[in-house]
Structure 1
Amino acid sequence: MQPHPPTTKGKVAMLNQPFYFENNWYYVTEPGALVALQVHGKDISFFVPYWFGVTETGSLADQSDAATLATLRQLGVPVLALLYNLAGVIHKLLTTENLRKLLITNILNMLIRKGFFGVNIDFEFVPPEDRPFLTTFMAELYQTLKPYGYLTTISVPPELRDDPKHPFSGAFSYPDLARYSDQVYILAYDEHVAVPGPVASIGFVRQVLAYGLSVIPRDKIRLGMAVYGREWADRNRLPKELSFNEAIATANRHGVSIRYNAVVQEPNFTYKENGVEHIVWFEDVQSFAAKINIAVQEGIPGIAVWRLGLEDPRIWELLRGMRRF
């Protein structure tokens, strides 16, 4: 399947400038996400489903579903199959040459069999010491897929500077991985997880993107954006994820006002239940537009959004005003 070609002229609503803008969405199979695909699929540039886990034997655990595949075929949406690492296997796969090559062969065969457009590598918890092996894997994957015309893309954690020893992002060398990728999705979110705070403040996004632009070619960058929220019920526990609709329903149920923080450019509210304070930060169309404006101002060709079905429905009107086909 080929991506939708540009055929009509449009303008970016915020800046009133002609601009091509890619609109890529991550996807996890669930009823609400499938409905969102059916309604908005024709507005999506690349569909990035969280479907293929890599195993310790170099095979792929296929979690694709028939209903979503049928909808994709009907709409003609190009797919970048997301590959993620199952717990505890990534070190062995990256550092063992025969397993690494077998995995790449299996990826190629999957793309041929499924008729997808390419892949998105979304490996988390790669040990920092495996940095050279992750780069080697991407080089070998890129060189294998390129002759077949498949896109090789990678999702990378947010970085403010290169820190090879960082326990979560140290394995990801932005410039090296960009060399062996057609697109790099810089995931500029999850600013606050352990403690309450914005999912992605405007200042955080600016800093992450500034570093990315300093070491990655501009045309390869896709700004990773969140459309979800987080609710902290105990400062000593990790938060739960909320969709936009769940966040609004929670505020309404407890009769509390939602405040938009103009400094960080994100809405939030608090409430008490059984004596416990709950703190909620989430993304809406206003916060989403603020971040897109940064991408447009910097000439970034598009975005990658986590994830379909969690978003403020008003986002689609905003995006339709930005794209031209």
Structure 2
Amino acid sequence: MLKRIKLLLICTIAAVLVTGYFLMKPSPNTERVTVQWEKPTLFYQGEKWEDAIQGSAASLSISMAWLREHVDSYLHYEKESGTVVITTTGKVLNLQTEQWSARMNDQPIELAFPVQVKEDRVYIPVAPITELYQIKVEETESGAVHLYKQGDVHNWGQSAAEESDGTVPVRTEAGIQYPILYDLKPNEEVRLWNEKPEDGWYRVQTPNGLMGYMAEDDLRWTREEIVQATNGQADSSSDPPVVKKPLAEKVNLTWEHVYRTNPDTTQITPMPGVNVISPTWFSIGDYEGNLSNKADTAYVNWAHEQDYQVWALFSNDFTDPDKTSTVLAQHETRMKMIRQLVAFAELYKLDGINLDFENVYLKDRDLLTQFVRELTPMLHEQGLVVSMDVTVRSNSEMWSKFYDRRALSETLDYMIVMTYDEHWASSPKAGSVASIPWVERGIAGILTFDQVPPSKLILGIPLYTRVWTEEEVDGKVEVSSKAVGMETVLNTIREKELTPVYLDDVGQHYVEYEEDGSRKRIWMEDHRSIVNRIEMVKKYDLAGVATWRRGFETADIWPLIEEHLN
């Protein structure tokens, strides 16, 4: 009897619980709502971005801050002049706020709508953005604007119900208690914005562009789409720029140091294996962006007759960081320098430009990168090779840290690492100009930390060394040095009957001797050190070598480099 009572009690409790569950379970909401955004609202990857867009149709514009975060971090704005600069690998677009015209690669173009500034937000018209980047923009009647980027992967789904079952609801939120936003018909597709359902619900985008939610059981996956941005023209620079290439497999460049006048080319001995020569011709001349020019047409003609390409060097003159800072600060002065370089390249029939900026304030780091991004497409348009000289990584702000090597390498054809001055002219301690371990650490650092591709990296090789003098003055050792070429060192060794000693830890030969009560010390550049450096090019599969400078070498060095490099 007791067992029957217990069983009856359990059944009664179960019945009460089941009845309570069904009484408490919410019924599906059948209310239908219409969503209309009060102002244009941007959606990307299924997420809503408020205040990121304004206008419609021809006046549709996107916030520059949003574009920087999601499309191109290099978008550049100069508030004082109201200048917006957009750079890609092949294009430079200069826009001015409230102006209906712009300049593309320094050529005038008309805009359908100008750049505007509202409440300190800069808005860029959509039209040039879709032309320069592979982007598709779709406006909906609800005021939602959807942006898709080339290569984005979208998943699509359809109603899981049979066609005879009619429509399935797309709701405003994840739950059957929320109103119906859209009735999905059989065979209609929705974009799926989460790969797996969250709490049994997919976040979807309806055929008319609205964002909503569908129950997992109401949906089945149909296909994957890779976005093709067909409504905008892909930037023509998406293909590799057509630039001139060196004549040999590896770059074998040497610099021509031009003081005041160009060398007598009849006195230049053959340089077998060299395929690029870089004369130091151009530099920043003044605070207005006018350039100094020492170029010589006869020198270019001679170089081309020898099958050398000419990558003329353009420097910031090194001596005045304030001048560099001033000319980099404004797009107008940057473009002034760029126009001169483009004109010089055409006038002198150059094959490339080699940039050499040194002694630059750390605060100008981004402006230097911006200048290179504005210059390179203009030179590429002329078929020119663009390279830049950088130092190895160090904590020195004005010698090393102002180079954004990773960003620069994205734009440049080549980056030449000036792997010398480990011990510089006024170093308080005597030592090698560029010991092999120090050079290797420098190259590895740029490859690893800056992620510069080895195919763009050229190893700088010193053809000079320093004769160090150590003498005791008032009980302290004072150090001074003098830069000399290879021949000078060999003459000293012969005259003084010295025997060089090879230092394994340095990778160079070394000699020292006494003279006038002081000690002279030399870490030599010779066959052994040059081969050690070229082996590094092979080890890391670098793009080639660049030697500083012609005139410091002995005649047998050129065949040596040619033999080991290729």
TM-score, normalising length from structure 2? 0.51
Question: Which of 445, 453, 457 lines up with 1:211 in the alignment?
Answer: 445
Question: Which of 412, 420, 423 lines up with 1:181 in the alignment?
Answer: 412
Structure 1 SS opposite 2:551: coil
One-letter amino acid of the counterpart of residue 309, structure 1 = G
Indicate the residue corresponding to 1:15 in structure 2.
Answer: none
Question: Which of 468, 473, 477 lines up with 1:232 in the alignment?
Answer: 468
In the alignment, is residue 123 of structure 1 matched against residue 353 of structure 2?
A: no
Indicate the residue corresponding to 2:529 in structure 1.
Answer: 287
Q: How far apart, CA to CA, are the structure 1 residues paired with 2:335 and 2:524?
A: 41
In the alignment, is residue 220 of structure 1 matched against residue 436 of structure 2?
A: no
Native 8 Å contact 2:361 2:397 kept in 1: no
Native 8 Å contact 2:274 2:562 kept in 1: no
Q: 1:236 to 1:158 in 2, by over 3 A?
A: farther
Unpaired stretches in structure 2, ≥5 consecutive residues: 1-242, 471-476
Q: Deviations over 1:12-62 (max 9, x none)?
A: xxxxxxxx322111111489995784411x521211111212212322212
Q: 1:202 to 1:209 in 2, by over 3 A?
A: same
Q: How far apart, CA to CA, are the structure 2 residues paired with 1:101 and 1:236?
A: 47
In the alignment, is residue 244 of structure 1 matched against residue 486 of structure 2?
A: yes
Native 8 Å contact 1:159 1:211 kept in 2: yes
Question: Which of 113, 116, 129 lines up with 2:347 in the alignment?
Answer: 113
Question: Which of 78, 91, 113 lines up with 2:325 in the alignment?
Answer: 91
One-letter amino acid of the counterpart of residue 263, structure 1 = D
Question: Which of 554, 558, 561 lines up with 1:316 in the alignment?
Answer: 558
Q: How far apart, CA to CA, are the structure 1 residues paired with 2:519 and 2:264?
A: 30
Structure 2 SS opposite 1:39: coil
Q: How far apart, CA to CA, are the structure 2 residues paired with 1:246 and 1:66?
A: 32
Matches within 5 A, 1:1-325: 3=245, 5=247, 20-29=249-258, 34=265, 37-40=268-271, 43-56=273-286, 57-65=288-296, 68-86=299-317, 87-88=319-320, 89-159=323-393, 163=395, 166-193=397-424, 194=427, 195-214=429-448, 215-234=451-470, 236-322=478-564
Native 8 Å contact 2:289 2:336 kept in 1: yes
Q: How far apart, CA to CA, are the structure 1 residues paired with 2:359 and 2:376?
A: 21
One-letter amino acid of the counterpart of residue 305, structure 1 = T
Deviation at 1:237, TM superposition (A): 4.9
Structure 2 SS opposite 1:321: helix
Q: How far apart, CA to CA, are the structure 1 residues paired with 2:257 and 2:269?
A: 14
Q: How far apart, CA to CA, are the structure 1 residues paired with 2:353 and 2:266?
A: 23
Indicate the percent of aligned positions where both proteins have the same amino acid. Answer: 24
Q: How far apart, CA to CA, are the structure 1 residues paired with 2:565 and 2:493?
A: 33
How big is the alpha-carbon RMSD for the aligned residues of Structure 1 and Structure 2? 2.4
Q: 1:23 to 1:308 in 2, by over 3 A?
A: same
Unpaired stretches in structure 1, ≥5 consecutive residues: 7-19
Q: How far apart, CA to CA, are the structure 2 residues paired with 1:210 and 1:134?
A: 24
Deviation at 1:295, TM superposition (A): 1.0
Structure 2 SS opposite 1:197: coil
Q: How far apart, CA to CA, are the structure 1 residues paired with 2:264 and 2:565?
A: 22
One-letter amino acid of the counterpart of residue 281, structure 2 = W
Native 8 Å contact 2:376 2:386 kept in 1: yes
Deviation at 1:69, TM superposition (A): 3.6
Structure with a larger share of its residues in helix = 1
Q: How far apart, CA to CA, are the structure 2 residues paired with 1:256 and 1:100?
A: 53
Deviation at 1:233, TM superposition (A): 1.8
Higher relative contact order (CA 8 A, sep 6+): 1
> Who wins on radius of gyration, i.e. which is larger?
2
